[in-house]
Amino acid sequence: MCSIALSRLDMQHGVRYAGNVGIYRCKGLKMERRTPEARNDGCRCLVWSVQSVIIKSDIRRGAYAPSYPGDKHAKTKRDRQRRNRHHVYRLQFPDLAVQQLEHAIKTLHMCGVAVGASVAGDEFSDPKFHPFWAKCEELGILIFIHPQSTPDLAPRLKGNGWLANTIGNPLDTTIALSHLIFEGTLDRFPGLKICSAHGGGFLPSYAPRSDNSLCVAPDMDTGVKLKKKPTEYLRTMYYDTLVFTSEALRHLAAEVGSSQLVIGTDHPIPWQDKSVDHILNAPGFTDEERRAMLGETAAKLLGIKP
């Protein structure tokens, strides 16, 4: 069984890799030191991406966003296959982002897209991003959304509890996905393959409220006519399993379908150090469902052979 998860190369906190024992942190950028450790832990495939907070808004900083030069430390073809990469894009400049995307997938042979949950205050549903989503759909690649807190609420998220992350990150994802649904972006681009960190934020936990919002407040209907109920779109997207408890995992699977889940850890932030056991020990899943969550679904999404 192959276990694959999504990871970020974080220029602030070190380098992370993901596998069937979680996501790990390297010191500095010495990624080659992690491969033997990953192999000993049972990790068979690594997927890297650059943390999106380092992508500045100044277009003069260069045409292409930094990306992990995986082949530098890949001694063999097998190593290169184990070190798959995600690219991060300058979505502040949608036309440039489309060029980057084409280059990254067709020339650099990267396997997907890593983005935040908004772009300089603009939502992903803004029409100016339609060319980017159209290209993602055309190429059939996975888009991994990892939030960067909710900056507009920074004053209210100060104080004890690390609320900028604890609440801010899942809220950021919740807002992003809700806009993609309610503004009709997912209807316009039905072939998008989107995976959200942290179990999709708060949205799957309170999904039915979205089905009733415009019935309660019809005056808030802006004229966008959705092709199905908001909750139905949740079953067309993907989510990691970083939801902490067996009951939370059961509920997430009940709302979105176990076929839409992939293993997640968020290491080196120690949210959950037993990510594989979290899936293996949760009651109510079949062996086939566990295998899918532990790697098979991610492998299909990323075009990686198990």
Sign of CA dihedral 265, 13, 197, 142: negative
Cα-trace Rg, the chain: 19
What's the start-to-end Cα distance of the chain, in Å? 7
CA atoms within 13 A on the CB side of 269: 14
CA atoms within 13 A on the CB side of 243: 25
- In this prediction, residue 304 carries a pLDDT of 84
C-alpha to C-alpha distances, 176 to 1, 67, 72, 145, 218, nearest whole angstrom: 33, 24, 35, 9, 22
| Domain 9-302: CATH architecture, name and number where available | Alpha-Beta Barrel (3.20)
Q: Coil, strand, or helix at residue 165?
A: helix
- In this prediction, residue 178 carries a pLDDT of 97
Task: Report how far residue 52's alpha carbon sits from residue 290's, in angstroms, rounded to the nearest whole number.
Answer: 30
Alpha helices (H) along 217-296: 230-234, 246-256, 275-281, 287-291
Q: Give the chain's residues under pLDDT 50.
A: 1-3, 6-42, 54-83
Q: Coil, strand, or helix at residue 122?
A: strand
From the centroid of its chain, how far is CA 271? 16
Model confidence pLDDT, tens digit, residues 37-48: 444 344 566 666
From the centroid of its chain, how far is CA 233? 16
- In this prediction, residue 114 carries a pLDDT of 85
pTM for the predicted model, two decimal places: 0.82
Model confidence pLDDT, tens digit, residues 75-118: 444 444 444 555 555 688 899 889 989 988 998 888 888 888 99
β-bridge partners, 118: none
Q: Coil, strand, or helix at residue 164?
A: helix
- In this prediction, residue 21 carries a pLDDT of 26
β-bridge partners, 115: 145
